[in-house]
Amino acid sequence: MADEHHEDHGNTVAGWFLTLSWIVVWTAAGVAIMFDENVVMWSAVALGASVVCAAVAGIMKKAGLGRKHPRTAPPTREEWEALQAGRHKPEPEQAEAAQPSGGDEHADETAAAH
């Protein structure tokens, strides 16, 4: 699955806005907690600001600054294994050489020699 190709890798304006705004909000809340020591109040403020930032990012996505197409569902295990098996088909000569012979050709040679 690591060899899949994604068009945007999540690199959208809305995605980056949300990530960076949450980093700023929770860093500011952490600094405020260190100086004020009112953990509950600053955590509530940061949580409220996070919800507002998420709403803004949702609006940005609706405005066309997010992912353009929905992400496809990942393949099931069976589909992925079948895909991998199809990519790594052995060469025809290798497939014949890899088949166990059961030792019959040696029996024929031994019977012919006697």
59-86: per-residue pLDDT in tens?
A: 998 898 887 777 778 888 998 888 888 8
Buried b (16+ CB within 10 A) or exposed e, 21-36: bbeebbeebeebbeee
Q: Which of 42, 47, 41 is nearest to 29 (CA)?
A: 42
pLDDT above 90 coverage of the chain, percent: 36
Placement of tokens 């998420």 in the chain: 54
Placement of tokens 């907690």 in the chain: 33
CA dist 74 and 82 (Å) reads 14
What 3-state DSSP class applies to 41?
helix
- Please indicate, yes or no, whether the overall pTM of this predicted structure exceeds 0.95: no
